[in-house]
Amino acid sequence: MDLDGRPDPPTEAGEKETLAGFLDFQRATLLWKCEGLTPAQLGTPAVGPSSMTLHGLIRHLTEVELGWFVGTFTDEPVEYAYSSAERPEGDWIGLDPRQYAADLHRYHEAVDKARAVIADLEPGTIGEDDGRRYTLRWVLAHMIEEYARHNGHADLLRERLDGATGE
């Protein structure tokens, strides 16, 4: 089944496939909330006093994907495109509407990289980040929570921008 272009998570699958299916649904929900808006709208804070925007959500979740999957389950250094020690909120600030297409492309690359990193891992595989150990199971559940929370924000932003509502 397909829900507004979003994949329906499997109802009869193994643990990893189920968790990954729900994560893919949440990823697609974020993209669905951004569809049809101009780059200027995507960068417009719409729920004061917050400065959160849909464009900022795309950038933030790009870095979250890389941090949790690449940073936890590989030895590769994670290079964040937006935030740094000097600019910890860089994923949220300094948005340029002209860069939205490039930022969206970077988001898709991060998701593809995350999928590739976990492709051959089992749910109980343990990775490490900043000295803490995490199972893939935990990271997948956390990422579903991260997206679900931010998709709630995206619902409010989208409705405020153009009145569109949805699931």
Q: Rounded to whole angstroms, what are the CA distances from 53 to 33, 160, 161?
A: 11, 11, 10
- Give the number of other Cβ atoms within 10 Å of residue 54's Cβ: 24
Q: Which fold has domain 23-162?
A: Four Helix Bundle (Hemerythrin (Met), subunit A) (1.20.120)
Whether residue 1 is predicted with pLDDT greater than 70 in this model: the reply is no
pLDDT digits (tens, 9 = 90+) for 60-111: 999 999 999 999 999 999 999 999 999 999 999 999 999 999 999 999 999 9
Q: In whole angstroms, how far apart are CA 98 and each of 36, 39, 43, 79, 102?
A: 16, 7, 10, 22, 8
d(C-alpha 15, C-alpha 21), whole Å: 10
**What's the confidence (pLDDT) of residue 2?**
55
Q: Please state, in angstroms and rounded to a whole number, the distance separating the CA atoms of residues 123 and 2.
A: 26
